[in-house]
Amino acid sequence: MKNRFNNRATKTLLAVTTLSFMATAFGLTNHSHAANKDNVNVSYSVYVGSTKMFKIGYSLELGATSYKAAMQLKPKGIAKLFANISMVMRANGALNKSSISPSFYSNYQKKKKRKRTAEVSWEGSSQPTTNRTWKISDTKRNALKSSVKASMPDPMSAFLNVGIINAKNPCTGTQRIYDGSTVYDLSFKMLKQTLLGPKSPGSYKGPAYKCQLKHTPVAGFSAKRLAKALANPAVFNVWFAPVASSVAGKTILIPVAATGTVKGRAFSAYARRSLFNGQPM
């Protein structure tokens, strides 16, 4: 039973970190008011089946020409015994009305006593520089060398990039992402506009966009894991709440819920608290 929980928890990381990455922003409509910066702070609870497994804290500082994002994941309840995994991610970079330029990304993961850190730095048109605290095989290293491009963003920067490029069509297209050890595609599909009413789980109640995300591995994965993932791609549904950003001059979308499956078991994540510039959404 212990190994089964560990395997589920490892695969759940893809789902919960995907939810966290989504909290950057997607542009929709214009607003004229300007301000120095916008701040997003969201706390999520993540369940596998009916069991609460993780807590996620996310923060974003969005300025007129720069951004800073951070995410922390911690195990909760029974997960502390059977799936003791934690994660911290940080990203920053520059932005303008038409593009995102990541500067730095770090990903720290701890599973029991094993600790891993990957750091990625971007400078000009050169391929990003990567530092890892663990070794990877020559096969993976060669695959990454041929796949990683200078313009490829980290996970936390990618969604802001997608939002600017597809400002009039949220949740469309595909974004190729580099996280310091793997390259993968996230494909977006708009499902519908909906309303999260009083009976909806989580703290947010109001209009939302329901979107579908599909994860497709590209490089940095073992042959066995790559074959399994390509044969059965991970697919998630994410609900976004629209919030007007005076800094971006647009309405941005903040994820408030997500659902999917992990090894045949349902997972769900809901915002326990969601603040935009210190006010409840």
* HSE-CB of 18 using CA atoms within 13 angstroms: 30
Kindly give the pairing relationship between strand 37-48 and strand 51-63: antiparallel
Residues in the chain: 281
Per-residue model confidence as pLDDT tens digits over 182-225:
999 999 999 999 999 998 989 999 999 899 999 899 999 988 88
| pTM score, whole prediction | 0.85
| Mean residue pLDDT across the chain | 82
Q: What residues form DSSP beta bridges with 92?
A: 68, 104
Which residues, at least 6 apart from 214, have a Cβ–Cβ distance to it below 8 Å? 186, 187, 189, 233, 234, 235
Band of residue 138 on the pLDDT scale cut at 50, 70, 90:
very high
Kindly state the average pLDDT of the residues 235-240.
90
Q: Is 10 exposed, middle or buried (0-12, 13-18, 19+ CB in 10 A)?
A: middle
Give the Cα separation of 226 and 216 in Å (integer). 9
Whether 180 shows a pLDDT value over 90: the answer reads yes
Give the Cα separation of 98 and 114 in Å (integer). 40
Whether 244 shows a pLDDT value over 90: the answer reads no
pLDDT of residue 9: 44
Band of residue 106 on the pLDDT scale cut at 50, 70, 90:
very high
Encode 198-226: b = buried (16+ Cβ within 10 Å), e = exposed.
eebebbbeeebbbbebebebbbbbeeeeb
Residue with tokens 């998630």: 236
pLDDT of residue 107: 94
Per-residue model confidence as pLDDT tens digits over 2-48:
444 344 444 555 555 555 455 444 444 444 444 589 898 999 998 88
pLDDT of residue 83: 65
Q: Indicate the SS3 state at residue 246.
A: coil
Give the Cα separation of 278 and 55 in Å (integer). 20
Do 67 and 61 meet the contact criterion of CB atoms below 8 Å apart? yes
Whether 117 shows a pLDDT value over 90: the answer reads yes
Band of residue 167 on the pLDDT scale cut at 50, 70, 90:
very low
DSSP secondary structure letters along 72-124: EEEE-TTHHHH--EEEEEEEEEEE-SS-EEEEEEEEEEEETTEEEEEEEE--T
- DSSP-assigned letter for residue 197: -
* HSE-CB of 234 using CA atoms within 13 angstroms: 26
* Of 105 and 53, more confident: 105
Q: According to the per-residue pLDDT averaged within each range, which of 48-52, 155-159, 208-212 is highest? A: 208-212
Give the Cα separation of 106 and 229 in Å (integer). 25
Do 36 and 277 meet the contact criterion of CB atoms below 8 Å apart? no
Whether 89 shows a pLDDT value over 60: the answer reads yes
Low-confidence winner among 73-77, 129-133, 200-204, 211-215 (lowest mean pLDDT): 73-77
